[in-house]
Amino acid sequence: MADERPQSSSSGAPSAPGASGGPRPPRSGGPGGRKFFRRKKVCKFCVEKIDAIPYRDVRLLQGFVAESGKIVPRRLTGVCTTHQRRVTRAIKQARNIALLPFAARH
């Protein structure tokens, strides 16, 4: 049995696909109307017709709380003012019963 390996030591050209070089856009498109990003400006609570934010739903609330414990501003969450207020309230309630951490003190 021959344990031979095909060694190509002639031209050592390491082929690293897409390792170096800046990120290139796939295509230089002009001012077209292509929008792949879903930029919903609609509040998810409005969409789901959720009126009251359940403060016991920690998983839901965690989506509105940053890692530091701060409440994520409405601009980032995308919910409407009404629901953001309710979320804030729910988060505060959840904090009071120790479901969520308080904002990190500095």
Size of interface with Zn ion, in residues (CB under 5 A): 5
d(CA 21, CA 101): 43
Q: Which of 74, 80, 92, 101 binds Zn ion (CB under 5 A)?
A: 80
Q: Is 53 in the site for Zn ion (CB under 5 A)?
A: no
* Residue 5: burial class (beta carbons within 10 Å; 0-12, 13-18, 19+): exposed
Q: Is 47 in the site for Zn ion (CB under 5 A)?
A: no
Contact (Cβ atoms closer than 8 angstroms) between residue 54 and residue 91? no
Q: Is 50 in the site for Zn ion (CB under 5 A)?
A: no
Q: Which of residues 83-102 bind Zn ion (CB under 5 A)?
A: 83
